[in-house]
Structure 1
Amino acid sequence: MLPMLILCCAAGAAPVTLTPLLPPEMGHWAEFALAGVEHGAANPFDPAEFAVDVLFSPKGAAEQRVPAFWMQPQRQSFEADHESIRPEGAAEWRVRWTPSAAGETACTVLVSRGGGEFTEAGRGAFTVGSAQNGAMPMARVEPVEKRYFQRADGAPLPLLGANVCWFGNRGTPDYDEWLAALADARMNFVRLWMAPFGFGIETLPDERLNYNQKRAWQLDYVLRLAEEKRLYVMLCMDFHGIFQDEPDMWGGNDFWPKHPYNTAQGGPCEKQNDFFTLGAAKDLYRKRLRYQVARWGACPALLSWQFFNEINNVYMKVSRKDVVPWHAEMAESLHAMDPWKHPITTSFGGSFEDRAMWELPGMDFAQFHLYLDGTGDGVTRQIGAVVGRFHERYEKPMFIGEYGVSFRGPGRDQDPHLRGLRQGLWAGLLAGSAGTAMPWWWDHLHPQNAWRLWTALNRFIEGTGLGGPGWKAVDAVAAGADGAEPPDLLVLGDDKTMLAYLVDPHRNYPHGALEEAPPEISANVTLPTRRPAGTLLRVEWWNPEKGEIIKSETVETGAPLMLLASPPFSVDIALRVLPVPSE
């Protein structure tokens, strides 16, 4: 650690020190050890007994008041092929903050005892350096049209990602391997779960207001790794299994009997629905939210908070009429306590859509979970319909937060050539959602090197500005060559560029999924020119599997519509129409 900053304190008071672990730099996640604020016999995890905030006041920038958190440092070691996490040293107060400006920053430490008013414990100043390496900008919902996310610097952020929700037997070394592979594939988004078998910190009997420090250390590690790899994270804070009291189809996920809020474990909730109605349960939950904001809210890689995964799966145990207003109440609380105002969401399973939930102002973006078991309609048609419906109903971004050809398993037999996977990725993005469909079954996709499909898609959208202002679905028409059945078509564009995705209707998953060598077809696409007559446009036809240009040509605009003929293709093909740069 660096030299400590000794803060000015009241006469006779013990000195308060703030010690940076690394030199604070603009845009980077800074961490400080805080000493001299003694909580005595109070529970440091309970802000009603003892709480610490730090007010950071950068010169020339907005001040931020950040909650501090109590942590037990941990040490990672390895035994055989898995990690071991053990306490190391004394527990202490820490505070994390991401400076938005370089230069002098004043800081004030504030302390509350027994739920009383915060009083000043010390004040001082330090210097924030300029970023020596490129900082990862935080992300937010694009504030005007609210269809996409964007980085804090205003750059568009279409999400190319997947679920990688929990680790296997090795522990966090799984993420060393997975996140490196995802970054190499030019992906930018993942989802993590705070489940009892993942990164959960208050899910087991002895964890009520005694947050699991081993799991917290593991989440620290993975979030820092995500920042290093430039992967944005949706952090799911709970899943439906915490309310199940009987094994599900997987033979488990029945965590309610062990949940620390259950009266059987000394908590306030006699039955599951009490979690959503009892004031005592809400108070406990808000305290955990504060801890999570304090520990992880400053992470630039944190895209969003997600309250629940597929909460409707337990609507036989909890009441929807209580779940929806709980989300409104907790979203308001979380927005108020989060200095960085990360977007908030939740999710439903089984292609369920709850209009009351998604219409809540506190739900900053929406999701839809899509698994294709037993569906006969082509995947691009299904995704196009869902995205169009959500855009019509809700003025907020949406994307397919979980996706797979089957919810029962990875679906290798149903989708041996990964066409269902590829079509879901491309359809999610080209239908106008905020990103690709986000596949499940990551531990099966990784050994197949399936991430190469994201690389191909990234090459296709690179340099197009997708996700910026004005990007919407485009009315266009596709026709089969020589009178054949027309391909399924998705077109997206702004006032300069158009992107299209065409799929043979007989190979639109699940159709033709088992064919080894599908025949080639050709198609004609009629698009609006959207440019003045005489404008030169570059027309590129792409192979979606390889991310390579098959054919390119330059055309000159004339009529309001232009007719483009595709080269022969098998299964699917993509199209880019861009203005030719002026010399």
Structure 2
Amino acid sequence: MKAASLQTYTSQLPLPWVETTPDCSFFFTADGKPWTPIGQNDAITWPELAGLFQRKDVQTAETYLAYLAEHGVTCLRLMLEYSQTRHRYIERPAGQFPPNMVRLWDDLFALCETYRLRILLTPFDTFWMRIHWKHHPYNQANGGPCSNRSRWLLCPDTLNAIKGRFTFAIQRWGGSGVLFAWDLWNELHPAHANYNIGVFGDFISEISDHVRTLEISLYGRAHPQTVSVFGPELDKHPAMADVIFRHPKLNFASTHFYDTRTINNPKDTIKSAIRTGELMRDALRHITDNRPFFDSEHGPIHAFKDRHITYPEPFDDEYFRHIQWAHFASGGAGGGMRWPYRHPHSLTRGMRAAQRSLANFLALVQWQNFRRINLNEEVQISSPSFAVFACGDHRQAIVWLLRKDRKDRSGLVSKMAKSLPVSLSVPNLAMGHYSVTLWDTVAGAVREVLTVEHTGGAHLLINLPPVASDVALVVRNVYG
């Protein structure tokens, strides 16, 4: 393995590492503060970060990262190489790391550190890597280790090359708190192993052990690990759930929420949110040790890629905001990570406002010892006009209500819908005094605070003021 002829990246403004805690559904930093991944998928070839290559326009990248930080973004999901083109390979040829690419990542880590942003890093862009395999440096025809793209997870020489890529990244950037976690393999797929899914567990164990052992030897600790999957593959191959949700060496779980009838090709902004809530509940059902879970990629893939649609901003903003709150209120760590699916690949200002609203809402939640379970179907509601998304434990609950019976011709929740009174019954809460904070998800501000006493019975009854479209709630024991 040939290293680039550059000075080693060194941290200037250290960020505390993000950690997971046994039997806890959320993340904390090494100094004990709660941390939530709020962000999106990004790429080193997309407009805001493209100028880092050869340092052609570092200022645009810095301005962008500062803007993200101002809007509550805490995390970017990035691929170490993005293979849609042939000019951003992190290795070329295999085992050699081009100085321009290494310097790009040095600069990106330094900028993220300045603006207190973290990176969920995955080593390969497996989507474009598969499509453009004939050009990839790992292809044996190009001097690489692998004879066929169906043998990525089967070939011993390719396994060693993958370990070599991790080794280089860990030695250069692994000591930084900017690195939130490793997504060890992007969208694990049967096609990567000649449809032998039985090898997945051993492959992940091999990579996980390599990464963790090297990090501990160099830094005395290791970053959290996950592996991602294109969600519909779990329906086709249910046995994959053991690796995705329960692999003993992974610290948290993540999937990519793509649903053919709703999320992939939305006709309105309501059904995709409801489907997100269903997918969240199903994912949490698979997890047996309460590890954190979040969707690390979603968006209108079919509409954008196959139908060549870029949605109008008012529609896409509401679609984004609804999915975000459905994900979070159902028990996810954060609001999920959108793949932009826009021309260009950038989130809108409305989406950034939605992220800032969620970021500000987080301060209302007591994260220490929050052992949430999904309550989407357990919370009872007086009006059938609303969908319910909720999670909670014995002292706290998060609830989001979404109007589902009124939409306009554009598929948005109708702005003319009459406000309706709503009563909620929240289960599992211990007796005591509760504050109920109502949050305006559009304005990003507290709407009202109620006080409710729970004197007995299976549910805490909450009578809300009339709701027109949606509202988020934090229900907290005032002594909890």
What's the offset of the Cα at 1:556? 3.4
- Of the structure 1 ranges 321-330 and 362-371, higher mean CA displacement relative to structure 2 is found in 321-330
Q: Which residue pairs with 1:114 in the alignment?
A: none
Which residue among 126, 132, 143 is the counterpart of 1:266?
Answer: 143
Matches within 5 A, 1:9-24: none
Q: Does 1:190 align with 2:38?
A: no
Aligned-partner Cα distance in 1 for 2:261–2:66: 35
- Of the structure 1 ranges 437-446 and 279-288, higher mean CA displacement relative to structure 2 is found in 437-446
What's the offset of the Cα at 1:242? 5.5
Aligned-partner Cα distance in 2 for 1:373–1:161: 23
Which residue among 76, 83, 103 is the counterpart of 1:217?
Answer: 103
Aligned-partner Cα distance in 2 for 1:547–1:539: 16
Task: Verify the 8 A CA contact 2:44 2:82 in the aligned structure 1.
Answer: no
Q: TM-score, normalised by structure 2?
A: 0.82
Query: Structure 2 vs 1, CA of residues 310 and 301 (structure 1 numbering), >3 Å: closer, same or farther?
Result: same
Matches within 5 A, 1:430-449: 430-441=329-340, 443=344, 445-449=346-350
What's the offset of the Cα at 1:404? 1.6
Task: Verify the 8 A CA contact 1:161 1:187 in the aligned structure 2.
Answer: yes
Q: TM-score, normalised by structure 1?
A: 0.68
User: Structure 2: which amino acid aligns with 1:505?
Assistant: K
Matches within 5 A, 1:362-381: 362-375=249-262, 378-381=271-274
Which residue among 541, 553, 570 is the counterpart of 2:468?
Answer: 570
User: Structure 2: which amino acid aligns with 1:499?
Assistant: I
Aligned-partner Cα distance in 2 for 1:417–1:554: 35
Query: Structure 2 vs 1, CA of residues 360 and 557 (structure 1 numbering), >3 Å: closer, same or farther?
Result: closer
User: Structure 2: which amino acid aligns with 1:381?
Assistant: I
Which residue among 301, 308, 320 is the counterpart of 2:185?
Answer: 308
Q: Which residue pairs with 2:382 in the alignment?
A: 479
Q: Deviations over 1:191-219 (max 9, x none)?
A: 11122458999948842221122112111
Q: Which residue pairs with 1:111 in the alignment?
A: none
Listed as ranges, the gaps of 5+ residues in structure 1 are: 1-44, 47-69, 74-91, 99-132, 245-253
Q: Which residue pairs with 2:398 in the alignment?
A: 499
Task: Verify the 8 A CA contact 1:193 1:200 in the aligned structure 2.
Answer: no
Matches within 5 A, 1:97-112: none
Q: Which residue pairs with 1:403 in the alignment?
A: 298
Which residue among 137, 153, 164 is the counterpart of 1:276?
Answer: 153
Task: Verify the 8 A CA contact 2:146 2:155 in the aligned structure 1.
Answer: yes
Query: Structure 2 vs 1, CA of residues 168 and 406 (structure 1 numbering), >3 Å: closer, same or farther?
Result: closer
Aligned-partner Cα distance in 2 for 1:287–1:530: 50
Task: Verify the 8 A CA contact 2:295 2:337 in the aligned structure 1.
Answer: yes
What's the offset of the Cα at 1:471? 3.1
Q: Which residue pairs with 1:164 in the alignment?
A: 42
Query: Structure 2 vs 1, CA of residues 201 and 141 (structure 1 numbering), >3 Å: closer, same or farther?
Result: farther
Aligned-partner Cα distance in 1 for 2:180–2:365: 23
Higher helix share: 2
Q: Which residue pairs with 1:352 in the alignment?
A: 233
Aligned-partner Cα distance in 1 for 2:85–2:110: 14
Q: Deviations over 1:317-341 (max 9, x none)?
A: 6654445532222122222112231
User: Structure 1: which amino acid aligns with 2:381?
Assistant: A
Which residue among 115, 118, 141 is the counterpart of 1:232?
Answer: 118
Q: Which residue pairs with 2:17 in the alignment?
A: 138
Q: Which residue pairs with 2:213 in the alignment?
A: 336
Q: Which residue pairs with 1:387 in the alignment?
A: 280
Query: Structure 2 vs 1, CA of residues 168 and 382 (structure 1 numbering), >3 Å: closer, same or farther?
Result: closer
User: Structure 1: which amino acid aligns with 2:443?
Assistant: K
Which residue among 435, 447, 460 is the counterpart of 1:538?
Answer: 435
What's the offset of the Cα at 1:452? 0.7
Q: Deviations over 1:37-83 (max 9, x none)?
A: xxxxxxxx35xxxxxxxxxxxxxxxxxxxxxxx4323xxxxxxxxxx
Task: Verify the 8 A CA contact 2:4 2:96 in the aligned structure 1.
Answer: no
Q: Does 1:552 align with 2:449?
A: yes
Query: Structure 2 vs 1, CA of residues 215 and 456 (structure 1 numbering), >3 Å: closer, same or farther?
Result: same
Q: Which residue pairs with 1:153 in the alignment?
A: 31
Aligned-partner Cα distance in 1 for 2:345–2:90: 29
Aligned-partner Cα distance in 2 for 1:510–1:327: 47
User: Structure 2: which amino acid aligns with 1:171?
Assistant: G
User: Structure 2: which amino acid aligns with 1:387?
Assistant: M
Task: Verify the 8 A CA contact 1:524 1:564 in the aligned structure 2.
Answer: yes
What's the offset of the Cα at 1:507? 5.4
SS of the residue corresponding to residue 443 of structure 2 reads coil
Aligned-partner Cα distance in 2 for 1:343–1:194: 17
Matches within 5 A, 1:417-432: 418-432=317-331
Task: Verify the 8 A CA contact 2:133 2:139 in the aligned structure 1.
Answer: yes
Aligned-partner Cα distance in 2 for 1:399–1:233: 15
User: Structure 1: which amino acid aligns with 2:144?
Assistant: G
User: Structure 1: which amino acid aligns with 2:447?
Assistant: I
What's the offset of the Cα at 1:448? 3.1
Query: Structure 2 vs 1, CA of residues 447 and 457 (structure 1 numbering), >3 Å: closer, same or farther?
Result: closer
Q: Deviations over 1:536-559 (max 9, x none)?
A: x33232211112222333333333
User: Structure 2: which amino acid aligns with 1:562?
Assistant: L
Percent of residue pairs bearing the same amino acid type: 20
What's the offset of the Cα at 1:399? 0.7
Task: Verify the 8 A CA contact 1:243 1:317 in the aligned structure 2.
Answer: no
Query: Structure 2 vs 1, CA of residues 479 and 317 (structure 1 numbering), >3 Å: closer, same or farther?
Result: same
Task: Verify the 8 A CA contact 2:273 2:322 in the aligned structure 1.
Answer: yes
Aligned-partner Cα distance in 2 for 1:95–1:539: 47
Return the index of the structure with the highest Cα Rg.
Answer: 1
Matches within 5 A, 1:450-489: 450-466=351-367, 468-474=369-375, 475-480=378-383, 485-489=384-388
CA RMSD of superposed structures (Å): 3.3
Aligned-partner Cα distance in 2 for 1:408–1:491: 29
Aligned-partner Cα distance in 2 for 1:543–1:295: 43
Higher strand share: 1
Aligned-partner Cα distance in 1 for 2:345–2:129: 28
Task: Verify the 8 A CA contact 1:526 1:562 in the aligned structure 2.
Answer: yes
Listed as ranges, the gaps of 5+ residues in structure 2 are: 53-57, 235-239
Q: Deviations over 1:390-428 (max 9, x none)?
A: 222223322111122444427524962622211111111
Aligned-partner Cα distance in 1 for 2:354–2:317: 9
What's the offset of the Cα at 1:459? 2.2
Q: Which has the higher contact order (CA 8 A, sep 6+)?
A: 2
Q: Which residue pairs with 2:55 in the alignment?
A: none
SS of the residue corresponding to residue 286 of structure 1 reads helix
SS of the residue corresponding to residue 357 of structure 2 reads helix
What's the offset of the Cα at 1:345? 2.0
Q: Which residue pairs with 2:237 in the alignment?
A: none
